[in-house]
Amino acid sequence: MPKILGLEGTAWNLSAAVVDEKDVIAETTATYMPTTGGIHPREAAQHHASHIAKVVKETLKICGKDIDAVAFSQGPGLGPCLRTVATAARALALSMEVPLIGVNHCIAHIEVGRWKTKACDPVTLYVSGANSQVLAYRAGRYRVFGETLDIGIGNALDKFARFAGLPHPGGPKVEELAKKATRYTPLPYTVKGMDFSFSGLTTAAQEALKSSTLQDVCHSFQETAFAMLVEVTERAVAHTGKNEVLLAGGVGANVRLREMLALMCEDRGIEFYAPEKRFMGDNGAMIAYLGLLMYKSGYRTAIEDSKANPNFRPDDAEVMWR
Protein backbone atom coordinates (compact mmCIF):
# COMPACT_ATOMS: atom_id res chain seq x y z
CA MET A 1 0.00 0.00 0.00
CA PRO A 2 1.62 3.33 -1.05
CA LYS A 3 2.52 5.88 1.61
CA ILE A 4 2.81 9.54 0.69
CA LEU A 5 4.44 12.41 2.56
CA GLY A 6 2.56 15.70 2.10
CA LEU A 7 3.79 19.21 2.86
CA GLU A 8 1.43 22.15 3.38
CA GLY A 9 2.63 25.71 3.87
CA THR A 10 0.60 28.06 1.66
CA ALA A 11 0.03 30.63 4.43
CA TRP A 12 -0.01 30.44 8.24
CA ASN A 13 0.16 26.71 8.83
CA LEU A 14 3.19 24.55 8.17
CA SER A 15 2.26 20.90 8.30
CA ALA A 16 3.77 17.57 7.24
CA ALA A 17 1.75 14.36 7.16
CA VAL A 18 2.05 10.80 5.93
CA VAL A 19 -1.07 8.98 4.76
CA ASP A 20 -1.97 5.70 3.16
CA GLU A 21 -5.32 4.68 1.67
CA LYS A 22 -6.72 3.84 5.09
CA ASP A 23 -5.82 6.81 7.23
CA VAL A 24 -3.44 9.51 8.39
CA ILE A 25 -0.38 7.77 9.85
CA ALA A 26 1.41 10.83 11.22
CA GLU A 27 1.02 14.60 11.14
CA THR A 28 3.17 17.35 12.63
CA THR A 29 2.34 21.03 12.53
CA ALA A 30 4.02 24.35 13.30
CA THR A 31 1.77 27.41 13.25
CA TYR A 32 2.91 30.94 12.42
CA MET A 33 1.32 33.49 14.73
CA PRO A 34 1.83 37.14 13.78
CA THR A 35 2.80 39.24 16.83
CA THR A 36 0.79 42.19 15.50
CA GLY A 37 -1.46 42.62 12.45
CA GLY A 38 -2.20 39.87 9.96
CA ILE A 39 -0.03 37.34 8.09
CA HIS A 40 3.19 38.93 6.84
CA PRO A 41 4.25 36.81 3.81
CA ARG A 42 8.01 37.10 4.37
CA GLU A 43 7.76 36.45 8.10
CA ALA A 44 5.49 33.44 7.50
CA ALA A 45 8.01 32.08 4.96
CA GLN A 46 10.84 32.57 7.46
CA HIS A 47 8.78 30.73 10.06
CA HIS A 48 8.28 27.83 7.64
CA ALA A 49 11.98 27.77 6.68
CA SER A 50 13.07 27.56 10.30
CA HIS A 51 10.54 24.84 11.25
CA ILE A 52 10.32 22.58 8.22
CA ALA A 53 13.28 20.30 9.02
CA LYS A 54 11.91 19.61 12.50
CA VAL A 55 8.31 19.10 11.29
CA VAL A 56 9.38 16.60 8.61
CA LYS A 57 11.75 14.76 10.96
CA GLU A 58 9.06 14.37 13.64
CA THR A 59 6.61 13.02 11.07
CA LEU A 60 9.06 10.52 9.59
CA LYS A 61 10.12 9.45 13.09
CA ILE A 62 6.56 8.27 13.73
CA CYS A 63 5.98 6.43 10.46
CA GLY A 64 9.41 5.44 9.13
CA LYS A 65 11.17 6.52 5.96
CA ASP A 66 9.68 4.09 3.41
CA ILE A 67 7.76 6.80 1.56
CA ASP A 68 6.58 6.35 -2.05
CA ALA A 69 6.34 10.02 -3.03
CA VAL A 70 6.57 13.57 -1.69
CA ALA A 71 3.54 15.77 -2.37
CA PHE A 72 3.48 19.52 -1.73
CA SER A 73 1.08 22.45 -2.07
CA GLN A 74 2.16 24.06 -5.34
CA GLY A 75 -0.47 26.82 -5.06
CA PRO A 76 -2.50 28.91 -4.67
CA GLY A 77 -0.92 30.70 -1.74
CA LEU A 78 1.60 33.30 -0.62
CA GLY A 79 4.63 33.28 -2.97
CA PRO A 80 7.40 33.32 -0.34
CA CYS A 81 5.70 30.54 1.68
CA LEU A 82 5.09 28.39 -1.40
CA ARG A 83 8.70 28.74 -2.56
CA THR A 84 10.04 27.70 0.85
CA VAL A 85 7.91 24.56 0.98
CA ALA A 86 8.54 23.69 -2.69
CA THR A 87 12.30 23.89 -2.07
CA ALA A 88 12.01 21.52 0.88
CA ALA A 89 9.80 19.11 -1.11
CA ARG A 90 12.26 18.99 -4.02
CA ALA A 91 15.20 18.37 -1.65
CA LEU A 92 13.30 15.57 0.12
CA ALA A 93 12.15 13.86 -3.08
CA LEU A 94 15.66 13.96 -4.55
CA SER A 95 17.39 12.73 -1.42
CA MET A 96 14.84 9.95 -0.78
CA GLU A 97 14.85 9.09 -4.50
CA VAL A 98 11.06 9.14 -4.80
CA PRO A 99 8.74 11.05 -7.18
CA LEU A 100 7.61 14.60 -6.49
CA ILE A 101 3.93 15.55 -6.83
CA GLY A 102 2.77 19.19 -6.93
CA VAL A 103 -0.86 19.46 -5.82
CA ASN A 104 -3.52 22.14 -6.00
CA HIS A 105 -4.36 23.30 -2.48
CA CYS A 106 -8.09 23.94 -3.16
CA ILE A 107 -8.60 20.47 -4.64
CA ALA A 108 -6.83 18.97 -1.62
CA HIS A 109 -9.50 20.56 0.60
CA ILE A 110 -12.23 18.93 -1.51
CA GLU A 111 -10.59 15.50 -1.67
CA VAL A 112 -9.89 15.27 2.06
CA GLY A 113 -13.56 16.15 2.61
CA ARG A 114 -14.66 13.36 0.27
CA TRP A 115 -12.29 11.00 2.07
CA LYS A 116 -13.31 11.88 5.60
CA THR A 117 -17.08 12.25 5.12
CA LYS A 118 -19.62 10.26 3.12
CA ALA A 119 -19.71 12.95 0.41
CA CYS A 120 -19.25 11.42 -3.02
CA ASP A 121 -19.93 14.03 -5.70
CA PRO A 122 -20.69 17.26 -3.84
CA VAL A 123 -20.92 20.94 -4.60
CA THR A 124 -18.12 22.26 -2.36
CA LEU A 125 -18.14 25.59 -0.59
CA TYR A 126 -14.45 26.27 0.08
CA VAL A 127 -14.05 29.20 2.45
CA SER A 128 -10.63 30.05 3.84
CA GLY A 129 -8.47 33.07 4.57
CA ALA A 130 -7.55 33.93 1.00
CA ASN A 131 -9.98 31.75 -0.97
CA SER A 132 -13.73 31.63 -1.35
CA GLN A 133 -15.07 29.40 -4.09
CA VAL A 134 -18.01 27.22 -5.01
CA LEU A 135 -16.74 24.18 -6.89
CA ALA A 136 -18.06 20.98 -8.39
CA TYR A 137 -16.69 18.19 -10.55
CA ARG A 138 -17.73 18.05 -14.17
CA ALA A 139 -16.03 16.50 -17.22
CA GLY A 140 -12.53 15.90 -15.93
CA ARG A 141 -12.07 18.98 -13.78
CA TYR A 142 -13.21 20.75 -10.65
CA ARG A 143 -15.08 23.70 -12.12
CA VAL A 144 -15.42 26.99 -10.29
CA PHE A 145 -19.12 27.92 -10.33
CA GLY A 146 -18.71 31.05 -8.25
CA GLU A 147 -15.91 32.81 -6.42
CA THR A 148 -14.89 36.00 -4.69
CA LEU A 149 -14.14 38.93 -6.93
CA ASP A 150 -11.80 40.47 -4.36
CA ILE A 151 -10.76 39.07 -0.96
CA GLY A 152 -11.58 35.75 0.71
CA ILE A 153 -14.24 35.66 3.44
CA GLY A 154 -11.63 34.71 6.09
CA ASN A 155 -9.44 37.69 5.19
CA ALA A 156 -12.53 39.92 5.25
CA LEU A 157 -13.40 38.74 8.77
CA ASP A 158 -9.76 39.07 9.89
CA LYS A 159 -9.47 42.55 8.40
CA PHE A 160 -12.65 43.76 10.05
CA ALA A 161 -11.62 42.20 13.37
CA ARG A 162 -8.19 43.85 13.21
CA PHE A 163 -9.86 47.23 12.58
CA ALA A 164 -12.06 46.61 15.63
CA GLY A 165 -8.96 45.91 17.75
CA LEU A 166 -9.41 42.13 17.96
CA PRO A 167 -6.39 39.80 17.68
CA HIS A 168 -5.60 37.59 14.65
CA PRO A 169 -7.25 35.37 13.47
CA GLY A 170 -10.44 37.38 13.74
CA GLY A 171 -12.94 34.82 12.43
CA PRO A 172 -13.43 32.91 15.70
CA LYS A 173 -13.62 36.18 17.70
CA VAL A 174 -16.29 37.58 15.39
CA GLU A 175 -18.25 34.36 15.82
CA GLU A 176 -18.12 34.62 19.63
CA LEU A 177 -19.15 38.29 19.70
CA ALA A 178 -21.97 37.72 17.20
CA LYS A 179 -23.70 35.42 19.70
CA LYS A 180 -24.26 38.40 22.01
CA ALA A 181 -25.89 40.61 19.36
CA THR A 182 -29.36 42.09 19.79
CA ARG A 183 -30.09 43.54 16.35
CA TYR A 184 -29.20 43.26 12.66
CA THR A 185 -27.65 46.27 10.91
CA PRO A 186 -28.10 46.21 7.13
CA LEU A 187 -24.78 45.84 5.25
CA PRO A 188 -24.07 45.61 1.49
CA TYR A 189 -25.06 42.22 0.06
CA THR A 190 -22.94 41.75 -3.06
CA VAL A 191 -23.66 38.82 -5.35
CA LYS A 192 -22.91 39.43 -9.04
CA GLY A 193 -24.05 36.58 -11.23
CA MET A 194 -22.52 33.59 -9.44
CA ASP A 195 -19.67 35.58 -7.88
CA PHE A 196 -19.48 37.50 -4.61
CA SER A 197 -17.40 40.29 -3.16
CA PHE A 198 -16.42 41.07 0.43
CA SER A 199 -14.29 44.20 0.48
CA GLY A 200 -17.23 46.66 0.28
CA LEU A 201 -18.98 44.75 3.07
CA THR A 202 -15.81 44.94 5.19
CA THR A 203 -15.52 48.72 4.74
CA ALA A 204 -19.24 49.19 5.49
CA ALA A 205 -18.95 47.04 8.63
CA GLN A 206 -16.04 49.18 9.85
CA GLU A 207 -18.15 52.27 9.20
CA ALA A 208 -21.13 50.72 11.03
CA LEU A 209 -19.08 50.50 14.23
CA LYS A 210 -19.65 54.26 14.62
CA SER A 211 -23.38 53.74 15.22
CA SER A 212 -23.79 50.08 16.28
CA THR A 213 -22.22 47.88 18.93
CA LEU A 214 -19.34 45.56 18.00
CA GLN A 215 -21.53 42.53 18.79
CA ASP A 216 -24.30 43.74 16.46
CA VAL A 217 -21.86 44.45 13.63
CA CYS A 218 -20.18 41.03 14.04
CA HIS A 219 -23.61 39.40 13.81
CA SER A 220 -24.63 41.51 10.81
CA PHE A 221 -21.32 40.82 9.04
CA GLN A 222 -21.79 37.05 9.46
CA GLU A 223 -25.46 37.02 8.48
CA THR A 224 -24.82 39.08 5.33
CA ALA A 225 -21.63 37.35 4.16
CA PHE A 226 -22.84 33.83 4.92
CA ALA A 227 -26.20 34.44 3.18
CA MET A 228 -24.25 35.44 0.06
CA LEU A 229 -22.18 32.24 0.22
CA VAL A 230 -25.21 30.03 0.83
CA GLU A 231 -27.16 31.68 -2.02
CA VAL A 232 -24.42 30.96 -4.55
CA THR A 233 -23.92 27.43 -3.22
CA GLU A 234 -27.65 26.77 -3.58
CA ARG A 235 -27.67 28.06 -7.13
CA ALA A 236 -24.69 25.83 -7.99
CA VAL A 237 -26.65 22.88 -6.56
CA ALA A 238 -29.68 23.80 -8.68
CA HIS A 239 -27.54 24.24 -11.78
CA THR A 240 -25.52 21.04 -11.47
CA GLY A 241 -28.32 18.88 -10.09
CA LYS A 242 -25.96 17.43 -7.46
CA ASN A 243 -27.46 16.24 -4.20
CA GLU A 244 -24.65 16.87 -1.72
CA VAL A 245 -22.93 19.94 -0.30
CA LEU A 246 -19.46 19.77 1.26
CA LEU A 247 -18.01 22.52 3.43
CA ALA A 248 -14.21 23.04 3.36
CA GLY A 249 -11.65 25.59 4.58
CA GLY A 250 -10.90 27.26 7.91
CA VAL A 251 -14.05 29.43 7.96
CA GLY A 252 -15.99 26.16 7.83
CA ALA A 253 -15.39 25.91 11.59
CA ASN A 254 -18.06 28.59 12.01
CA VAL A 255 -21.19 27.09 13.57
CA ARG A 256 -23.54 29.74 12.17
CA LEU A 257 -22.31 29.11 8.60
CA ARG A 258 -22.83 25.38 9.09
CA GLU A 259 -26.32 25.99 10.43
CA MET A 260 -27.27 28.13 7.42
CA LEU A 261 -25.88 25.60 4.92
CA ALA A 262 -27.52 22.69 6.73
CA LEU A 263 -30.86 24.51 6.63
CA MET A 264 -30.58 25.17 2.88
CA CYS A 265 -29.71 21.50 2.28
CA GLU A 266 -32.59 20.32 4.44
CA ASP A 267 -35.01 22.57 2.53
CA ARG A 268 -33.82 21.07 -0.76
CA GLY A 269 -33.74 17.51 0.56
CA ILE A 270 -30.02 17.03 -0.07
CA GLU A 271 -27.12 15.97 2.17
CA PHE A 272 -24.78 18.36 3.96
CA TYR A 273 -21.26 17.23 4.92
CA ALA A 274 -18.47 18.87 6.90
CA PRO A 275 -15.32 16.96 7.94
CA GLU A 276 -14.00 17.16 11.50
CA LYS A 277 -12.12 20.37 12.31
CA ARG A 278 -8.57 19.05 11.81
CA PHE A 279 -9.36 18.40 8.11
CA MET A 280 -11.18 21.72 7.67
CA GLY A 281 -8.41 24.33 7.88
CA ASP A 282 -5.06 23.95 6.10
CA ASN A 283 -3.41 20.64 7.00
CA GLY A 284 -0.66 18.36 5.70
CA ALA A 285 -2.93 15.30 5.56
CA MET A 286 -5.04 16.76 2.75
CA ILE A 287 -1.92 17.40 0.64
CA ALA A 288 -0.61 13.89 1.30
CA TYR A 289 -4.02 12.39 0.46
CA LEU A 290 -4.41 14.26 -2.85
CA GLY A 291 -0.79 13.30 -3.55
CA LEU A 292 -1.79 9.67 -3.01
CA LEU A 293 -4.73 9.92 -5.45
CA MET A 294 -2.47 11.55 -8.06
CA TYR A 295 0.34 9.05 -7.42
CA LYS A 296 -2.01 6.11 -7.97
CA SER A 297 -3.24 7.57 -11.27
CA GLY A 298 0.37 7.88 -12.48
CA TYR A 299 0.87 11.60 -12.03
CA ARG A 300 4.44 12.88 -11.39
CA THR A 301 5.85 16.42 -11.29
CA ALA A 302 9.25 16.86 -12.93
CA ILE A 303 11.66 19.10 -10.98
CA GLU A 304 11.57 21.66 -13.81
CA ASP A 305 7.76 21.82 -13.52
CA SER A 306 7.73 22.14 -9.74
CA LYS A 307 7.86 25.95 -9.55
CA ALA A 308 5.52 27.48 -6.97
CA ASN A 309 2.33 28.82 -8.56
CA PRO A 310 0.71 31.50 -6.32
CA ASN A 311 -2.33 31.79 -8.65
CA PHE A 312 -2.83 28.05 -9.32
CA ARG A 313 -6.55 27.72 -10.10
CA PRO A 314 -8.34 24.48 -9.30
CA ASP A 315 -9.87 24.44 -12.80
CA ASP A 316 -6.33 24.48 -14.26
CA ALA A 317 -5.66 21.02 -12.81
CA GLU A 318 -6.62 17.88 -14.71
CA VAL A 319 -8.42 15.34 -12.51
CA MET A 320 -7.36 11.81 -13.48
CA TRP A 321 -8.50 9.97 -10.37
CA ARG A 322 -12.27 10.31 -10.85
Minimum CB distance to ligand AMP smaller for 129 or for 146: 129
The maximal CA–CA distance of the chain, rounded, in angstroms, is 62
CB of 294 to Mg ion, least distance (A): 18
User: Does 132 sit near Mg ion (CB under 5 A)?
Assistant: no
CB of 173 to ligand AMP, least distance (A): 8
Footprint of Mg ion on residues 266-285 (CB under 5 A)? 282
Gyration radius (Cα) of the chain, Å:
19
The site string for ligand AMP over 6-35 (x = CB under 6 A, - otherwise) reads: -----x------------------------
- Number of shown-chain residues binding ligand AMP (CB under 6 A): 18
Among 8, 27, 68, 175, binds ligand AMP (CB under 6 A): 175
Among 197, 220, 254, 301, binds ligand AMP (CB under 6 A): 254
Among 251, 261, 265, 294, binds ligand AMP (CB under 6 A): 251
CB of 260 to ligand AMP, least distance (A): 12
Minimum CB distance to Mg ion smaller for 124 or for 128: 128
d(CA 111, CA 116): 9
d(CA 146, CA 266): 22
User: Does 223 sit near ligand AMP (CB under 6 A)?
Assistant: no
CB of 309 to Mg ion, least distance (A): 15
User: Does 147 sit near ligand AMP (CB under 6 A)?
Assistant: no
User: Does 157 sit near ligand AMP (CB under 6 A)?
Assistant: yes
d(CA 160, CA 140): 38
CA atoms within 13 A on the CB side of 314: 25
- CB under 5 to 8 A by kind: which of Mg ion, ligand AMP, none does 28 bind? none
d(CA 39, CA 304): 29
The site string for ligand AMP over 274-293 (x = CB under 6 A, - otherwise) reads: -------xx-----------
The DSSP code sequence of 12-23 is SEEEEEEE-SS-
Q: Minimal CA–CA distance to 82: which of 131, 38, 45, 128?
A: 45
Inter-CA distances, 193 with 172, 196, 199, 228, Å: 29, 8, 17, 11
**Where are the strands (E) in 85-228, listed by range?**
100-104, 123-127, 132-138, 141-147, 191-192, 195-196
Q: What angle do CA 225, 253, 315 make, to 5 degrees?
A: 70
Answer for the pair 313, 76: CB distance below 8 angstroms, yes or no: yes
Answer for the pair 281, 169: CB distance below 8 angstroms, yes or no: no
User: Does 28 sit near Mg ion (CB under 5 A)?
Assistant: no
User: Does 124 sit near ligand AMP (CB under 6 A)?
Assistant: no
Minimum CB distance to Mg ion smaller for 244 or for 282: 282
List of residues contacting ligand AMP (CB under 6 A): 11, 128-129, 154, 157-158, 169-172, 175, 249-251, 253-254, 281-282
List of residues contacting Mg ion (CB under 5 A): 128, 282
